[in-house]
Amino acid sequence: MNLKLLTASLISLILIVILSITFLSEDASVHSTKESPSIKKAIELILNIQSARRGENLDYLESVVSQHARLKANKSDTFYIEFLKGYIASANNQFDLAEKHFNHAQQYIYPALPSHVLSRFYYERSYIEIEQDQYERSKLSYQNAENLFNSNQDYSRAFISISLGRTYDLAHVEQGSLLSIQQAQKTLEFAQQIKYPEMENVYFILGLSYWNNNQTILGIDFKLKALNIYIEKKQYSDIVYTLTDIGIDYLFLKNYDEAIRQLTQALEYQNKNNHTEPDEAYYIVYKLYSAYLQINDMENAKYYLDEAARLLRIQKDSIVKENFQTNQLLLEAEYLSITGKAKEALMLLTQANERHKNGLSNSFYHFDVTLYNTYGKVYNHLGLYDDSIYHHTLAKDAIQQRKLFYLEDETYFYLYDAYQKQKDYQKAALYLAKSHAVKTKQLNDNNQAQTQFLLHSFDNKKKENRILQLERNASKIMFFSGFLLCILIVIAAFARILMNKNKVINALNLKLHDLSLTDGLTAVPNRRALELHLLENKQDLTVRSVMMIDIDYFKKYNDTYGHKKGDEALIAVAKTLKESCKENDFLTRFGGEEFIIVMKNTNKAESIQMAEKIQACITSLCIPHESSDVSSFITLSIGITTYSINKDDEANNEKAIIEADKALYYSKNNGRNQSNHFYDI
């Protein structure tokens, strides 16, 4: 009996051992972490991509997914493949599909999964939930990512990467700009604590956060800090990216000359980087086109529009190419509209709109706003003012919904122009007032941003001095406390002075308003100032002459002598034009190398005599121009028109500029270095 019992026990034990070995071997194969080399490379790419630059290497990631679509995958590979699918869908703004893949991937999480990979998985999930307006769920997902780091600090650099990503993502949450800055400051403090070797990335993201919070000066300052380190390390790709971003900042601030300088530098660095992809060059060139278009330099605008088309043709990444093709259609439509080909522009806009509806414009954050405004401008040119107002209103609503503060001013001005041409003067006046109110607010915000920048710089200097003092000699802490108290007293005194200087600040605001109507390079009134002058200065006028002036072959001058000499030539010409004007004449830089002089109570004969005087004065400057086809010195082509003042007809002003432009066109096509009055043609 005992022998039978012992035999039964041994048999049971052997069966248990066999089953255990079988189970463990199956479990080991399921939990194998030997993922394929291509999957490993794809995951490493994702871990190294900054969140602000999602969309890079998508063709490669999709090829990896395709390779494994028909293979039988173990649990490890299944997790990674679903992670890759979700990431690709997210980068293409297909957030519901991305969520589906991430839910599937979560079922295959296994204990041996590296914590930094799982942390990135939860972070990417938090990004998807932000884009789905699920902020509370996003907080939980990100907390999971952060908890993984807290339990394993070996991956501190990987954590900084996702923390910076969270900073960038929070900027797109309702009231998220402040949350973004708080996250960035938290990341900055931790990065400084562990002496993170890539502080430039922290500075750059912090700059983006301040910019999104409308603290423009602080934002650009942090980006410049990042840029200096990138240049020191000769990281050409990052230099190009940062210079481009700063250039775009200046573009939105309407500082077009500085935007062109920054973007041109970006293009120069891009040419130094043999590994830079065409999509980066396309983005720079597209922004240079926009900058030159804003200053009415049509020759350079056309050059960069054609260059953008060339770069589009050599783009290899199919997804990026489709997105850029949509944008290129919009750019070409805009250019056709400005050059008087509104019907052709409308056809291209229709194509761009269809592609936009199909999701082929995801690389451009406010593409829809630009599309609506371009539609509005084209319909304006066609005289379809109801359609123009409808599309500009769509743009206005999108701007207000997404808080794109930097696009408000121009959209209000487009609405003002459309309502004025529709002769709805009440609404025209309303939107003109809104445009001025936005501009005044921007000037006040810049004042506040400047003050914040000074206090921030002061505070940073204080912290640096404190750390140095503590490291050198702990016994000097008391001295430093006294020094810190002095600083606080200075700040308190500074704040009190600011409170007592309201009158001075108001005066400065008026001065800044004047500056907004002044060309930054030549110090003469700008195009906006001309529009206001024509509207507001009609008292005691019976006749008015308009003279449009263009420097001959000025692009060739820039190509020969460089942009610095070109700027000096523009300043010299503007100074001479100003000295040649009578007391009541109004000189403005119309754009690029074009100037306009509005002459009060000046008839045809007097305006022609004035043109001859100006050309003689410019000739006497003797500014060398060896690339000119008409002279060895800088010369001018001039077009003039004279018209009677009708106080009830605003269209006369616009018509006069068009007629003067026609006369200028005749002068340029008839040999240049001459002047023509419209009625002589």
Tell me the C-alpha distance between 35 and 78, whole Å.
10
Residue 553's Cβ-count burial label (10 Å; 0-12, 13-18, 19+) is buried
Neighbours of 558 (CB within 10 A): 19
Q: In Å, how far from its chain's centre is CA 502?
A: 33
The partner residues of 589 in beta bridges, in order of sequence, read 595
Asked if 489 contacts 254 with a C-beta cutoff of 8 angstroms, the reply is no
Tell me, yes or no, if 593 is annotated catalytic.
yes
Domain assignment of residue 281, yes or no? no
Tell me the C-alpha distance between 106 and 144, whole Å.
13
Half-sphere exposure of 604 (CA within 13 A, CB side): 8
Tell me the C-alpha distance between 581 and 599, whole Å.
8
Are 458 and 563 contained in the same domain?
no
DSSP 3-state of 551: strand
Are 534 and 500 contained in the same domain?
no
Q: Per-residue b/e over 407-446, b at no fewer than 16 CB within 10 Å?
A: bbbbbbbbbbbbbbbbeeeeebeebbebbbebbeebbeee
DSSP 3-state of 50: coil
Asked if 245 contacts 227 with a C-beta cutoff of 8 angstroms, the reply is no
Residue type (1 letter), 172 = H
Q: What is the pTM of this model?
A: 0.52
pLDDT at res. 466: 44
Asked if 396 contacts 407 with a C-beta cutoff of 8 angstroms, the reply is no
Domain assignment of residue 550, yes or no? yes
Residue 616's Cβ-count burial label (10 Å; 0-12, 13-18, 19+) is exposed
Residues of the chain predicted below pLDDT 50: 1-33, 447-471, 473-474, 680-681
Element at 558 (helix H, strand E)? helix 554-561
Asked if 419 contacts 382 with a C-beta cutoff of 8 angstroms, the reply is no
Tell me the C-alpha distance between 436 and 513, whole Å.
9
Are 468 and 536 contained in the same domain?
no
Are 456 and 565 contained in the same domain?
no
517: which 2 tokens? 């109507």
Are 489 and 432 contained in the same domain?
yes
Are 537 and 628 contained in the same domain?
yes
pLDDT at res. 575: 94
Are 526 and 510 contained in the same domain?
no
Tell me the C-alpha distance between 610 and 620, whole Å.
16
Domain assignment of residue 641, yes or no? yes
Residue type (1 letter), 11 = I
Q: How many helices (H) and strands (E) does the chain have?
A: 28, 5
Tell me the C-alpha distance between 25 and 69, whole Å.
26
Residue type (1 letter), 202 = V
For 211-229, write each residue's pLDDT tens digit.
777 777 778 888 888 889 9
Are 486 and 578 contained in the same domain?
no
Domain assignment of residue 195, yes or no? no
Tell me the C-alpha distance between 206 and 521, whole Å.
31
Rg (CA), the chain: 32
CATH code where residue 669 lies: 3.30.70.270
∠ CA(398), CA(403), CA(406), 5° rounding?
95
Residues with Cβ within 8 Å of residue 565, at least 6 apart in sequence: 557, 558
- Domain extent, residue 467, equals 428-515
pLDDT at res. 352: 87
Domain assignment of residue 112, yes or no? no
Are 627 and 509 contained in the same domain?
no
DSSP 3-state of 597: strand
Nearest by Cα to 53 from 299, 242, 207, 192: 242
Are 585 and 660 contained in the same domain?
yes
pLDDT at res. 481: 62
Q: Which of 467, 495, 515 is the last residue of a domain?
A: 515
Q: Which of 515, 546, 562 is the last residue of a domain?
A: 515
What is the DSSP track for 193-204? HTT-TTHHHHHH
Nearest by Cα to 207 from 217, 220, 192: 220
Asked if 60 contacts 42 with a C-beta cutoff of 8 angstroms, the reply is yes
For the chain, give the longest Cα–Cα distance. Answer: 137
What is the DSSP track for 236-268? HHHHHHHHHHHHHHHHHTT-HHHHHHHHHHHHH
Is the sign of the CA dihedral 648, 654, 657, 658 positive or negative? negative
- Strand ranges across the sheet with 586-591: 586-591, 594-600, 543-551, 636-644, 675-677
Secondary structure letter of residue 567 according to DSSP:
H
Asked if 77 contacts 65 with a C-beta cutoff of 8 angstroms, the reply is no
Are 661 and 567 contained in the same domain?
yes
Are 511 and 526 contained in the same domain?
no
Domain count, the chain: 2
13: which 2 tokens? 């034990």
Domain assignment of residue 62, yes or no? no
Asked if 537 contacts 601 with a C-beta cutoff of 8 angstroms, the reply is no
Domain assignment of residue 595, yes or no? yes
Rounded to 5 degrees, φ, ψ at 546 are -120, 130
Element at 587 (helix H, strand E)? strand 586-591
Domain assignment of residue 554, yes or no? yes
Q: Which of 489, 515, 541 is the last residue of a domain?
A: 515
Asked if 245 contacts 259 with a C-beta cutoff of 8 angstroms, the reply is no
Catalytic residue selected from 124, 332, 593, 659: 593
Tell me the C-alpha distance between 535 and 464, whole Å.
54
